[in-house]
Each structure stands twice: as C-alpha cells, then as structure tokens.
Amino acid sequence: MWPKKLAIAILAIHANPLAALGSRDTGGMSVCIRELAAELGARGHRVDIYTARPAGAAGPEMGLAPGVRLVTVGEGDASVPKAELAGQAASLARAVARQAAAEGMVYDLVHSHYWLSGLVGALLAREWRLPHLVSFHTLAAVKNRLACGEDEPPARLAAEAFLARHCQRLLASTCTERQELIDSCGASPERIALVPWGVDRRRFCLGDQGEARRQLGLPGAGRLLLFVGRPAPIKGLERLLAACRELALPAPSCLLVIGGDEPAASGPPLSPGLPVLRLGGKDHRQLPLYYQAADLVILPSCWESFGLAALEALSCGTPVLATPVGAMPDLLHPGRNGLLLGDTSPAGLAQAIRRLLDRIGRGHFPRPQVRSSVAGSSWSQVADRLLAEYAGLLLPPAALPPPGRMEAGQGVAWR
C-alpha cells in the first residue's frame, strides 16, 4: 500500500486528452493519460493535467474524475502548430507555475508526455526541485529513419536527447522503445523503466458480434475488417487500402476506417476490392462495439510506440493482424490471438488477411481465448508499476541528481 497520497503534475501540452480520438494529435497517448490519471485519482492521489490546447467550450479547468483536473494554460490557441509550442515552453512553464502558486498547489513530481511537454516539465522540475519523468510515446530519430511522412525538425532531436540525459526517469512502454532511447537518444539504461500500457477490461470486453453489428447499423453477414488509428502515414492506412484492392470477399464485406477529423458516410469500392466506410474519429466509449463487431482488426503501422488499439481489440476477443512493431511481438501469438506480418507489401498483407480470415472461419481464435491472452493488462496493474517508479524517485531534495541546463539555441530558458 502506498504510504502517502501524492500530488502529481502531468503535462500534456500539445494534445488535450479530451480531444476527439483519431484526430491528428490525439491517439493512444491521450487514452493512457486519462486512464492512468483516473486510476491514480481513484486511489486518493491528486492529479492535475496541464495542457495548452482547449477542448471545445470547456473552461480553463475541468474535473475529469475524482481527484483529477484538466487545466488549460497559456493562450490555449488550438490553431498554433504544435512545433511552435517549443518556442513557448518558457512562457507555458511560467503559466503552469503561476496557476499552481495561485492555488497553493505543491506537487511531489512532474510527469511529462511527449517532447514538447518534456521541455516545459524540465523547467518546472528545476524551479520546483522535483523529480521529472518523461514518456516520449514517439521519437524523432525513429520517425526520420523510417521516412514515414515529413522529417522531424532538428530542435526535436536535440530536445529528446537533452531530456533523455537529464530527466530523472524515462518510461518506455516496450523493450524496443527502451533500446531506441539508448541508441537514438543516448539514454543511460539505468534511467529507463519499462511500464507497458494497459486497457480497461471492463469496457473492452467480450460481446455478441451480431448484436454489436445490429447496434451499429452494420450488415449481419459478410466479413468486417477494422482499422483504428490516426490519419498519419506512419499508421500504414494507404498500405492497407492497397491490399484491399486485391481482396475479393463476399458481399456485404467491407473495411471500416476509424480515425481522422472528418467522417465520410462511405467510400467507393476499390476497383476491384472492398467497399470502405470512413467513419472519422469516434468517442473512445464507442470503440468496444466496433471491435466486437469486427472479424479482424488490421494495424499495418510502419512503427508504433506501443499499439493501444491492438490491446483493446484483443481484450474484446477480436484477432489482430499487425506489423511486428511496438508491442506487437509481445502481444500477438500466432495460433492464439492473431498474426504478425512477415511480408508487409500490399500483396503480402492481402494474402495474410485471406489466410487469417480462413482460419477464423474454421473456428480458430475463439474469442474467450483471444481475450485471455491479455489478462494481465488492466490499468490497475499498470498503475501499480507506475507508482513503484514514482516511489523510487521520491527522495529528499538533496539526493536528487543536479538539474541539467538547456543549451543555447534550443529556445528554452527559465527567466
């Protein structure tokens, strides 16, 4: 049992955790922040989540769960490109500090999510003399190496390397991410803790496939393929669409695409191939029905920091076909809950889809078996591991490592 109740400052500067999932900057990271904060709050800890992005008509403060607040600081202009927030790190840190001082808030530690939050968190941790933990979620060096989309700027590369050297703890969600932090950012292995992400197993649960389709207004017959992810090149949607052009499945089979800001009622057949229903972003609470309705969830990402959609699908008992990135090699076990792609070309992906659908049709991958494969992944279990890491850093201030100073040219300094 934790000996004291903590006050935790969580920074989610560039992406409001309440924004619609599947939009450009809102995905698995926002789910992780919300779920872990709620779990910590339920245990009696005080959690304040600071963001620079407004959520609709919400005011500057909003209660999310018992013991958990979302606090918007700075100008709160959602139109500002996220990369430009790096130049505002000092002013945003001052805004957080002013807000905390006005309320008499004293925190025990700072936990930053993503590199932009890390810059703000580094300044606050130095000012407050607190431990600083950083969860990067994605890394610029890895994204640049994969060449999926636009190159990440040098400022981000420098910031991630700085934070990896000077924060008290880096949290990696997979063994692959841990090694990438060492190889790409020069992080010391002893600074890195492995804390895999989790899933709400009460919400993401087994359900009747036919009833789920009925509630969603989807055909009861035919094969239903499902893609869930942000509209970013790294997620591999174009690869999946190319593979679907080679698929001939009996009507009314289709591919559902969840993610993006704007839904479209339907898309044209892929000449030849499957019809595509582009549904845009969906409320996270609606996703279990889509997972339950699907025959197969397909995640052909070029890279994943973790792959939360796979964990959610498996918790609903739905098999997953995915590229061997992020947590997928740990989550997917051929013959039990899905398949890892060997050939990631569109033709190879199409062949794997056909093979997996055939096995599902012959009674392989029963849903209770698929769900049981992720039995140890509840948010409560993740919170236990996270609190253990927090405990290791709550030392007397004199025992904290001396804070690093940001180098000139990074555009950030405490003034």
Upstream peptide bond of 396 is cis (omega within 30 degrees of 0)? no
User: Could you tell me whether strands 224-228 and 192-194 are parallel, antiparallel, or unpaired per DSSP bridges?
Assistant: unpaired
Cβ(27)–Cβ(299) below 8 Å:
no
Alpha carbon distances (Å) from 400 to 105, 126, 230, 305: 21, 11, 38, 29
Query: Residue 345: which residues within 8 A CB-CB, separation 6 or more?
Result: none
* pLDDT of amino acid 214: 97
Q: How far apart are alpha carbons 237 and 75 in whole angstroms?
A: 34
Residue 110, helix vs strand vs coil: strand
Question: Residue 20: its pLDDT value, please?
Answer: 58
Q: How much is the pLDDT for 260?
A: 77
89 with 116: CB under 8 angstroms?
A: yes
DSSP string, 299-312: E--S--SS-HHHHH
pLDDT in the model for residue 340 = 96
DSSP class of residue 257? E
For residue 60, what pLDDT is reported? 63
Q: Quick check: helix, strand or coil at residue 123? A: helix
**What are the average pLDDT values for consecutive 10-residue runs of the chain, which has 415 residues?**
82 80 64 94 96 63 85 70 77 94 95 95 95 94 81 91 95 94 95 95 97 96 94 89 92 91 53 84 93 98 90 98 94 94 93 96 96 95 95 67 44 38
Which tokens hold the place of 111?
């936990």
Give the C-alpha separation, 78 to 83, whole Å: 12
Residues 289, 309: Cα–Cα separation, whole Å = 13
User: Is 379 within 8 Å of 198 (Cβ atoms)?
Assistant: yes
The three-class DSSP label of residue 338 is: strand
> Measured between alpha carbons, how far is residue 256 from residues 234, 275, 312 in Å?
18, 9, 16
Q: How far apart are CA 17 and CA 68, in angstroms?
A: 12
pLDDT of residue 40: 97
Q: Are strands 224-228 and 109-113 parallel, antiparallel or unpaired?
A: unpaired
For residue 264, the model assigns a pLDDT of: 52
99-152: pLDDT as tens digits: 999 999 999 999 999 999 999 999 999 999 999 999 999 899 988 888 776 688
Asked whether 111 and 8 are in contact (CB, 8 A), the reply is: yes
| pTM score over 0.75 | yes
Total residues found in the chain within this entry: 415
Q: Are the CB atoms for 119 and 21 separated by under 8 Å?
A: no
List Cβ neighbours of 386 (8 Å cut-off, separation of 6 or more).
36, 40, 171, 195
